[in-house]
Amino acid sequence: MALKIKCNDDRVRGATSAILLIGRDLLSRGETEDLIATALAEYRADPKSFKENKATWPDVQELGPLVKPAHVAYYKNLISAIAALVEKWTKAKRQFNSLLELDNALIEQLPSYKL
């Protein structure tokens, strides 16, 4: 029997952190198309490398290398959207059957928060 991924699971926090940290890096390079999906794909492709890089990157709440006002605004909205979505999932006691289901839920639902 497979274990469910609950909304307070480390795998959810890992995915949301990856979206923020890798997304911030992508934004700083001007890569904005399919940002959430791209960040998650990069994270899933090499989670070990992400964990190594995570130690050297600024905290997720910091703007880091972002300088363009549009990128700064997008990133701040992304931080708020992730917090709101995770809170919604927590209240609903949302569970996922797989990492793919979790990733698809993030990709599908985050843009609805007006990023």
Query: Does 39 or 1 have the greater pLDDT score?
Result: 39
- Residues in CB range of 78: below 8 A, 6 or more apart: 19, 20, 23, 35, 110, 115
The pLDDT value recorded for residue 64 is 81
pLDDT digits (tens, 9 = 90+) for 8-36: 889 999 999 999 999 999 999 988 889 99
When divided into structural domains, the chain yields a total of 1
Pairwise CA distance, residues 9 & 56, whole Å: 24
Domain containing residue 25:
5-113
Mean pLDDT, residues 72-100:
94
